[in-house]
Structure 1
């Protein structure tokens, strides 16, 4: 039986991200009405300073899918984890990177 690896005492010191920092997230889903609005609304829930003017859109070659890149101000690992969970659980979203 193996011994579990102990968790770090302070997760902030083991993070590769310095908080606060600008953090890009790519969200992909079908190109449908409301997709960009849904992603924007979620970003605003987790980052009150989110600027929708920074959103980048990229259609798939066939035009069926849409990539939406948002850049949020990350303030903690917990914030990012919850943001990813909320995005991935949205019915319009297929992939979050």
Structure 2
């Protein structure tokens, strides 16, 4: 039995089955007046029809940073990669999860 111990590098990440409803995308960046809108515009391009009522926006304790979480129906790896790439192009973005 050559199974790696828990946490071993041979573990595969969990498989995502597409389409995947309610897939969360979180983008964190510098809090500016236009950051939320820019994130939502990117999401509309790549995942039209997401529910704006499910969008959450949180400011950091000092108000310097902001996280925007959008739940989409993920249709494939290509879509997710395009979203991550476009979010990372925003000058305010610090991290995308």
Into which bin does the TM-score normalised by the smaller protein fall?
A: 0.7 to 0.9
- Whole-angstrom distance in 1 between the partners of 2:36 and 2:84: 16
Query: 2:82 matched to which residue of 1?
Result: 82
Query: 2:18 matched to which residue of 1?
Result: 19
Q: Which has the higher helix share?
A: 1
The alignment's C-alpha RMSD in Å is 1.5
Q: Which runs of 5+ in 2 are unaligned?
A: 1-12
Query: 1:42 matched to which residue of 2?
Result: 42
TM-score by length of 2: 0.80
Return 14-23 or 54-63, whichever deviates more.
14-23
Q: Offset at 1:72? A: 1.2
Q: Offset at 1:15? A: 6.7
Count of residues in correspondence between the two structures: 84
- Whole-angstrom distance in 2 between the partners of 1:36 and 1:52: 12
Query: 1:53 matched to which residue of 2?
Result: 53
Return structure 1 stretches of 4+ with deviation > 3 angstroms. none
- Whole-angstrom distance in 2 between the partners of 1:76 and 1:20: 7
Query: 1:68 matched to which residue of 2?
Result: 68
Q: Offset at 1:30? A: 1.0
Q: Which runs of 5+ in 1 are unaligned?
A: 1-13
2:31 corresponds to 1:31: yes
Q: Offset at 1:67? A: 0.8
TM-score by length of 1: 0.80
